[in-house]
Amino acid sequence: MTTVTINARATGQRRRGRAANRAVWVLQVLTSALFVFASVPKLTADPMAVAGFDVMGLGTAGMYVVGGLELLGAVALLVPVLCGLAAAAQVALMVGAVVLSLVFVGGGAALALPVGTLVVVSVIAWARRRRTVELVGLVRRYARR
């Protein structure tokens, strides 16, 4: 193999890497917007949100906690150092949403949004796993001081 062939391959891989990075950032921005929109009714105590959380037995305290987690996760998805950890946390939040939707709604069309969101945040968490590892390393280094 010649140097030209190796450099061409490296350039092609870098372009694919940049394109994939941009695609994941687009997913992050769109998902962040989705979580902001989802958190607003919970944080403003919309009557429908209050009723839904009461039916689930979580009450208004649970509603505010979930809304706060959604909003904090939405902001953290846009911070490069935190985006991997935020996506992993949103995976956990969406697993809970899927389970509660199955138990209280019973599936069907109402399950589509939580499952779809779970898939998207899982893809983001996987794509940003190196950033999460770097963040853990940074915290460990800082803790040793």
Is residue 127 within 8 A of residue 83, CB to CB? The reply is no
According to DSSP, residue 108 is labeled: G
Length of the chain: 145
Instruction: Give residue-wise pLDDT tens across range 36-85.
Output: 999 999 999 999 999 999 999 999 999 999 999 999 999 999 999 999 99
Query: What is residue 67's predicted lDDT score, i.e. its pLDDT?
Result: 97
Using alpha carbons only, give the angle 91, 92, 96 rounded to the nearest 5 degrees. Answer: 115
Asked whether the beta carbons of 77 and 32 are under 8 A apart, the reply is: yes
pTM summary value: 0.84
Q: N- to C-terminal Cα distance for the chain?
A: 48
Q: What pLDDT shows up at residue 104?
A: 87
Q: What's the pLDDT score for residue 13? A: 65
What are the residue boundaries of the structural domains of the chain, listed by start? 3-144
pLDDT on residue 145 = 82
* Residue 1 in this model has a pLDDT that exceeds 80: no
Which DSSP symbol is given to 128? T
Stretch (H or E) spanning 58: none
pLDDT at 16 over 90: no
Per-residue pLDDT tens for 80-131? Answer: 999 999 999 999 999 999 999 899 888 788 899 999 999 999 999 999 999 9
d(CA 45, CA 43): 6
